Amino acid sequence: TDRKKLHTAPVGQVFRLRPFHVLVATGGGYAGYRKYEDYKLEQLEKRGIEVPVKLASEWEVALYKSVPTRLLSRAWGRLNQVELPTWLRKPVYSLYIWTFGVNMKEAAVEDLHHYRNLSEFFRRKLKPQARPVCCLHSVISPSDGKILNFGQVKNCEVEQVKGVTYSLESFLGPRICTEELHFSQAPPGNSFQQQLVTKEGNELYHCVIYLAPGDYHCFHSPTDWRVSHRRHFPGSLMSVNPGVARWIKELFCHNERVVLTGDWKHGFFSLTAVGATNVGSIRIYFDQDLHTNSPRYSKGSYNDFSFVSNNNKEGIPMRKGEHLGEFNLGSTIVLIFEAPRDFKFHLKAGQKIRFGEALGSL
């Protein structure tokens, strides 16, 4: 006959699933389940009920890391740069404003039609007087956000949230050459924490600030200091919201991050911008060589760059409140610095804070 023969493959071949698809589906489903659990925990916290710490097991962390968050974040970044039709901008941005509680009255440009794409809207600037910089205190908040934790660093461990810690050395990486930072040489055999403290009578302090998607996305210099060195850790891009930070130990050590290291009048000072899901892009304004969330990713690697050269012995001087960098969505800022023992934080864990407000002083 003239009829064409129809060849059919076995049902098993048609519906055959590849390992990658299984990992993505399973990991994505589990990530969704964790989001639901985080929501329930937040509701309990709002009611004043203390939530016991329950850390993820190794297989749970491995399953979460199997989700291609780096690829998804790059795709999200490209989507954010697509120019929206003028008629679509107000509905899209209004939905985002309603969802995350964005205060557009603080924006330098309130007209939603002005922002050509989501990326421009995320990185919107504020009115000049929207965030007055506190002059009475030595350290201010570098960004808007929520205080997850703060205090003294003890036993080379830093708390990302109450009861959940990470290693100071794993987070910052090996100690930078003392000649570059103009620090005195620490006696051999001292712990990593003791090596960072350069002056007798000082202690090491930390502060963790979580930026939600609705927050102002730029970050600024928290004090007068000079930046001598940048260390970039490629890594995972897991969520860093408080629920996940309470669940995964050393979350900040797993994720991609940019560590800026230098010194201020009391000794060692560092600011670290931690990446997260859909926040693969971390920009430092004075560092044009930095490229985050690159497709080339070597697990456990890091790369260094020195801002101290033969022509510039002082590094990059930063004034308190000066623009330093930006995220493309919300993420986390971690400050680790040296200060005298009488340094006091003016904070409460869980409080909302805005850029320019006081973190602490002597």
**Residues 3-23 pLDDT 10s:** 555 555 554 554 455 554 554
If we measure between CA atoms, which residue out of 72, 80, 36 comes closest to residue 236?
A: 72
Residues 210/240, Cβ–Cβ less than 8 Å: yes
Determine if the pTM surpasses 0.75: yes
Supply the residues annotated as catalytic.
Answer: 144, 220, 331
Q: What is the pLDDT of residues 108-150, one digit of tens each?
A: 999 999 999 888 888 888 888 888 898 888 999 999 999 989 9
Can you tell me the mean pLDDT for 207-234?
Answer: 92
Task: Please tell me the chain's helix, strand, coil percentages from 3-state DSSP, rounded to the nearest 5.
Answer: 30, 25, 45
Q: What count of Cα atoms within 13 Å lies in the side-chain half-sphere of residue 249?
A: 12
Token pair 């994720």 is at which residue?
A: 255
Can you tell me the mean pLDDT for 185-203?
Answer: 79
Q: What is the pLDDT of residues 65-109, one digit of tens each?
A: 778 878 877 787 788 888 999 999 999 999 989 988 888 999 999
Q: Which residue has the higher pLDDT, 338 or 313?
A: 338
> Confidence class of residue 48 from pLDDT cuts 50, 70 and 90?
low
Q: Tell me, what's the pLDDT at 232? A: 92
> Confidence class of residue 343 from pLDDT cuts 50, 70 and 90?
very high
Could you give the CA distance from residue 341 to residue 16 in angstroms, rounded to a whole number? 63
Q: Which residue has the higher pLDDT, 196 or 43?
A: 196
Compute the mean pLDDT over every residue in the chain, rounded to the nearest whole number.
Answer: 81
Q: Tell me, what's the pLDDT at 119? A: 83
Phi then psi for residue 327, to 5 deg, are -105, 160
Could you give the CA distance from residue 323 to residue 222 in angstroms, rounded to a whole number? 10
